[in-house]
Chain A
Amino acid sequence: MTLAAAESIAISGASGAGKSQFLRALVDLDPHDGEMWLNGIAASSMDAMHWRRLVHYIPAESGWWAERVSDHLGSQARQALPEVGFSETILSREVRSLSSGERQRLALLRALEGAPQVLLLDEASANIDPENQLQFELLVKKEQQQRQMGVIWVTHDVRLAARVATRRLSFSRGTVDDDPAALLKANV
């Protein structure tokens, strides 16, 4: 499949169809037999750490390694806190005291701070309350337009897919496209 710059693909499909597996392979987190290209450059020719800065993945439950929120966010992400409905007071909170939805909104800020070219969202906003979910989507869209970031949303939510996606794929049907203008090409 291919993903163009600033394109949004929504992937749906039954549980266990391999959607998460596919995204984890795209970010090179699990061993796989495929190959990915970003702007025509193969992932395998690139340092894995560099690849993961360009292609970022947010799982349904984001992981946090330090105690406080402030340990995870840089100055750019701190400035963007209001865009996902937070004030600066969140910075001194312990990550484990936050709700799953709150953590996901912060995970988006943390991800965007690295300025990825491709963002992979694996049910990343599913645990967020409806109002903040819209804010989450708006921020993704804004970054997408400003920086021509490509986004893949894996979601069961048909309305979410309708709001955000420029193209929709059902996962039972893998497509391979040879568009040379593609931002991300994958065959995994």
Chain B
Amino acid sequence: MTLIPLTPWQLALAAVLLLILVMLSIPLRLQLGQQMVVAAVRTTVQLLLVGLVLEIIFGDISPLWILFMALFMVLAAGYEVHQRQHYRLTHGWGLGIGTGAMFISSFSITLIALTAILNHDPWYEPQYAIPLLGMLLGNTMNGISLGLDRLNSTVWQQRYQIEARLLMGHSANDAIGDIRRDSIRTGLIPIINSMAAAGIISLPGMMTGQILSGTSPMEAVKYQILIMFLIAAGTGYGTIAAVTLGSRRLFDDRQRLRLDRLRPTT
């Protein structure tokens, strides 16, 4: 089994399908046409650029290069988590917590997977390191940003309930306990659902990619199970860390709810 190399002509054919959708959105007044074109152009340019970078990294295996690329990816993911919040922690805390959580959920989990599970020599081989990290970042980011967003917006909406508990002499920890648990659950539910649905309702992207490129289905499936477990663990650790740190930051040492540390975005 070999892979059919794609020509630009074939990609252009796929783009025609998207163009039809854009044209369809005009009479339907979805006001999405421009956004869709921009997104499609971005996806093309960004993926081509990353392809170029990967070609370079794959050609010259230096752990320093891979580390540099990994850190860049983690920082970008942390920024993205921050950007997805409707209510953001001020003074760099939102960005810091998002990036810290992405570091835990993706960077450290990838490192563990490479050194302790895959045991390849050298462990930093880009063929494994980069796709693993990329998969983890892309998937754990959703859970973490959902969890944080739920935390911040619920606290904002339920400030009077929280303050009522503080006024009854409850600790900040007790006053926000239910909201914190709910936020962590919110972050974790999507990955639990996709683990439950994998193989029956959806064929996961990585597995299908491997099968397309000629890997035997059984090998692809094993990799997919590995990646699912890593994503679930990473999402869980990252969400717990982000929501716990975020909920601490929302109170001060006098057990006061500090909504002045949250800024709504419009």
B158 CB contacts on chain A under 8 angstroms: 65
Chain A residue, CB-CB nearest to B159: A63
B161 interfacial contact with A, CB 8 Å: yes
Number of A residues near B (Cβ < 8 Å) is 20
The reply to whether A28 and B254 form a contact with Cβ atoms under 8 Å apart is yes
With A63-B164, A65-B161 in contact, is A49–B256 under 8 Å at CB? no
Pick from A30, A52, A64, A65: contact of B169, CB under 8 Å: A52
Pick from B161, B166, B168, B169: contact of A29, CB under 8 Å: B166
The reply to whether A64 and B171 form a contact with Cβ atoms under 8 Å apart is no
A114 CB contacts on chain B under 8 angstroms: 168-169
The reply to whether B163 and A29 form a contact with Cβ atoms under 8 Å apart is yes
**Size bracket of the B interface:** 20 to 34
A57 interfacial contact with B, CB 8 Å: yes
Q: How far is the CA of A36 from the CA of B97 in the complex (A)?
A: 35
B121 CB contacts on chain A under 8 angstroms: none
- Chain B contact residues, CB within 8 Å of chain A: 158, 160-171, 175, 178, 252, 254-258
A173 interfacial contact with B, CB 8 Å: no
- Chain A contact residues, CB within 8 Å of chain B: 27-31, 48-50, 52-53, 56-57, 59, 61-65, 110, 114
Pick from B161, B175, B258: contact of A64, CB under 8 Å: B161
Q: 12 extra interchain contacts, Cβ-Cβ under 8 A, other than A31-B256, A53-B168, A65-B165?
A: A28-B254, A29-B163, A31-B252, A49-B171, A49-B255, A52-B166, A63-B160, A64-B164, A65-B161, A65-B175, A110-B168, A114-B168
Q: How far is the CA of A97 from the CA of B252 in the complex (A)?
A: 33
With A29-B256, A48-B255 in contact, is A61–B160 under 8 Å at CB? yes
Chain A residue, CB-CB nearest to B255: A48
